[in-house]
């Protein structure tokens, strides 16, 4: 309760001062290395800079496991995190302050109780994590611009933050600022799209020959036919986070497979990355020549 009292956004003067410290060359370098930002117009570019400055001024960045953070790394993370709230109120990222960056993947100890009451303790490897009311944790190896831009761990974790701001992580962000979006409509489309995706994953799993380990890279061609990473089938919270990554960095398969869900995300984020990326001659793989 009252968690908004902690982790509020920085004062406007501090944000303005941070904005002046982002040099044009640093901005161009960081922004230019992220292909999914192609197509942002001048107004959007300015708005993204302002949001990135807000993030840099409002959050504390810290390196873990020997990770040395510099201005370019923090700016790159801030830009990626700023994209989802480009047209939203940054208050949605309030209530927490820390962004922790590891050099690579990190491990999370997990405890799970199965249906028969047996407790299982195990270690999960992760590229990112978002705590409810706590930090966002990122692997730089998985967040840096060099990784294939069909996924985005920064957008994934910040989408969880948007979801968590509305209460529990369930794929249902708060819609108070979107009077045209009804929670019931969101729940209905989310549930039916999630169910459809679960079915697609089951069909892919059934099609993988028994001699191929479904957990191995050998199985990638089968999963590659899916419009989203199969991790999205975990639950509706992961479905929203993985869909948000795809929406911003690789929107065509998502829009083609689930147009209603894409339309809902478009209305929520108040952005249309598909049109933005296609409009600037973005072509990739089997994408249509729009
Ligand atoms: Zn997740």
Phi, psi of 116 (to 5 degrees): -90, 10
**The pLDDT value given to residue 125:** 85
Q: Greatest CA span in the chain, whole angstroms?
A: 61
Q: Which of 33-37, 143-147, 256-260 has the highest mean pLDDT?
A: 256-260
Determine which of 7-11, 162-166, 203-207, 257-261 has the lowest per-residue pLDDT on average: 7-11
How many whole angstroms from 237 Cα to the centroid of ligand 1?
A: 7
**The pLDDT value given to residue 122:** 83
How many whole angstroms from 126 Cα to the centroid of ligand 1?
A: 9
Domains in the chain, start-ordered, CATH in brackets? 3-110+121-165 (1.10.472.150), 183-279 (3.40.390.10)
Band (pLDDT 50/70/90 cuts) for residue 290 is: very low
How many whole angstroms from 130 Cα to the centroid of ligand 1?
A: 8
How many whole angstroms from 41 Cα to the centroid of ligand 1?
A: 30
How many whole angstroms from 16 Cα to the centroid of ligand 1?
A: 32
Query: Across residues 46-55, what is the average pLDDT?
Result: 96
Query: Across residues 88-102, what is the average pLDDT?
Result: 95
pLDDT over threshold 90, residue 166: no
Could you tell me the two tokens for 187?
Answer: 């729940």
How many whole angstroms from 137 Cα to the centroid of ligand 1?
A: 11
- Could you tell me where the DSSP H helices lie in 166-229? 183-207, 220-223
**The pLDDT value given to residue 285:** 45
**The pLDDT value given to residue 118:** 87
How many whole angstroms from 241 Cα to the centroid of ligand 1?
A: 6
114-151 pLDDT, tens digit per residue, is 888 888 888 888 899 999 889 999 999 999 987 777 88
How far is Cα 73 from Cα 70, in angstroms, rounded to an integer? Answer: 5
pLDDT over threshold 90, residue 21: yes
How many whole angstroms from 210 Cα to the centroid of ligand 1?
A: 29
**The pLDDT value given to residue 2:** 42
How many whole angstroms from 70 Cα to the centroid of ligand 1?
A: 26
Give the C-alpha distances (Å, rounded to integers) separating 157 from 121, 153, 189, 249.
24, 6, 22, 14
**The pLDDT value given to residue 280:** 56
How many whole angstroms from 238 Cα to the centroid of ligand 1?
A: 5
Q: Which residues pair with 129 in a beta bridge?
A: 137
How many whole angstroms from 124 Cα to the centroid of ligand 1?
A: 13
Give the C-alpha distances (Å, rounded to integers) separating 131 from 38, 65, 97, 136.
31, 19, 11, 6
């Amino acid at each position: 309760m009252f968690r908004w009292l902690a982790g509020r956004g920085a004062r406007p003067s501090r944000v303005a001062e941070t904005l002046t410290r982002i040099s044009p060359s640093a901005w161009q370098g960081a922004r230019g290395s992220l292909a999914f930002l192609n197509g942002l117009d001048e107004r959007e570019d300015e708005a993204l800079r302002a949001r990135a400055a807000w993030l840099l001024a409002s959050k504390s960045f810290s390196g873990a496991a020997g990770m040395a953070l510099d201005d370019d790394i923090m700016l790159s993370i801030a830009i990626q995190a700023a994209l989802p709230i480009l047209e939203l109120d940054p208050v949605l990222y309030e209530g927490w302050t820390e962004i922790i960056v590891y050099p690579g993947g990190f491990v999370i100890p997990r405890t799970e109780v199965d249906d028969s009451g047996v407790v299982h303790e195990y270690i999960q490897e992760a590229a990112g994590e978002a705590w409810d009311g706590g930090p966002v944790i990122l692997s730089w190896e998985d967040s840096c611009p060099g990784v294939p831009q069909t996924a985005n761990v920064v957008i994934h974790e910040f989408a969880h933050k948007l979801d968590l701001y509305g209460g529990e992580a369930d794929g249902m962000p708060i819609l108070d600022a979107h009077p045209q979006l009804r929670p019931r409509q969101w729940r209905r489309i989310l549930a039916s799209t999630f169910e459809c995706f679960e079915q697609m994953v089951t069909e892919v799993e059934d099609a993988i020959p028994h001699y191929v380990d479904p957990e191995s890279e050998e199985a990638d061609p089968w999963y590659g036919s899916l419009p989203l990473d199969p991790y999205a089938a975990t639950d509706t919270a992961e479905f929203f986070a993985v869909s948000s990554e795809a929406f911003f960095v690789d929107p065509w398969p998502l829009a083609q497979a689930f147009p209603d869900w894409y339309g809902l995300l478009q209305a929520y984020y108040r952005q249309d990355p598909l049109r933005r990326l296609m409009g600037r001659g973005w072509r990739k793989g089997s994408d249509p020549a729009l």
